[in-house]
Amino acid sequence: MNKLETLTILRKIQEGTVSPDEALLKLYTEPFEDLGYAKLDHHRELRQGIPEVVYGEGKTPQQITGIAAAMLNKGQRLILITRLSEETAETVKKNLALQYYQTARIGIIGEIPEPNGIGKIIVATGGTSDMPVAEEAAVTAEALGNEVVRLYDVGVAGLHRLLSRLEAIMDARVIISIAGMEGALTSVIGGLTDCPVIGVPTSVGYGASFNGIAALLSMLNSCASGVSVVNIDNGFGAGYLASMINHQKGQ
């Protein structure tokens, strides 16, 4: 249930077309729906402003189809499914109108909204190998109503590539910095801009990078102020957080 639906119920109480007991019953039965294999949190949008997002990895195509169908039945206009394999997506497409973003491994049911955030979100990567995580962040942010600018392969091994886009960096409302190896890109960007920077360490790199732990520690130890860090390869978390920042009013 979203805010508009809740407001409609409250207005009906005010108008006398719905009794308080009837409204209470509707609100009471709405919070979640038990499908047996999943309990859908239909009040997520009411509490947080964003509907529940489906994590696709580990779920069968039938489970994802059932979850999405239940969400659609409750009036949810856009459904975001992360970590979705291409094979599973093809099966889901047989029953639902799903658009699949292969690099991001994201499936979307419904139309991506027009941007309504305050400014632009930049998604920058150290290298091309970081693009799957970057696309997860970028598509997530776009699905949540943000304008996204992609700056890919601008790592510190060729710093002039990043510096050539200084105007875009200075114009950003939020920057998502995605890098593996030693993760130095995040500190560099943090030292160039006055907006929040979200570091995303990736599991890209040779043995001593420890599948992203080296980049994670580098970002956590950044001497640049205004840098926060999400978990290794968590593009979704970065895109979600960036969207929250970009929709904060009165700043």
Check whether residue 51 and residue 157 sit in a common domain. Answer: no
Give pLDDT tens digits for 128-173. 999 999 999 999 999 999 999 999 999 999 999 999 999 999 999 9
Q: How far apart are CA 6 and CA 75, in angstroms?
A: 13
Could you tell me if 213 and 98 lie in one domain? no
Asked if 228 and 196 count as a contact pair (C-beta separation under 8 A), the reply is: yes
Same domain, 49 and 163: no
Residue at which a domain ends, from 80, 109, 138? 109
Given a contact cutoff of 8 angstroms between Cβ atoms, the answer to whether 230 and 198 are in contact is: yes
Residue 49 pLDDT greater than 80, yes or no = no
State the sign of the Cα–Cα–Cα–Cα dihedral 226, 230, 234, 236.
negative
Report pLDDT digits (tens) over 67-98: 999 989 888 889 999 999 999 999 999 999 99
Last residue of a domain, one of 89, 109, 129: 109
pLDDT at residue 251 is higher than 70: no
CATH number at residue 229: 3.40.50.1970
Which pTM value belongs to this model?
0.86
Q: Are residues 231 and 133 part of one domain?
A: yes
**Domain-terminating residue out of 87, 109, 131:** 109
The secondary structure element, H or E, covering residue 149 is: strand 147-151
* Residue 189 shares a structural domain with residue 131: yes
- And the tokens for 187? 């500190």
Using a pLDDT cut of 70, give the percent of the chain over it.
91
The identity of residue 22, as a single letter, is E
Say whether both 102 and 125 belong to one domain.
Answer: no
- Structural domain count of the chain: 2
Confidence check: pLDDT of 28 > 60: no
Give residue 1's pLDDT. Answer: 53
Residue 2: pLDDT above 60?
no
Q: Helices 20-29 and 3-15 sit at what angle, rounded to 10 degrees?
A: 160
Q: Are residues 63 and 143 in the same domain?
A: no
Shared-domain flag, residues 74 and 134: no
Task: Print the domain residue range for 100.
Answer: 31-109
pLDDT at 7: 67
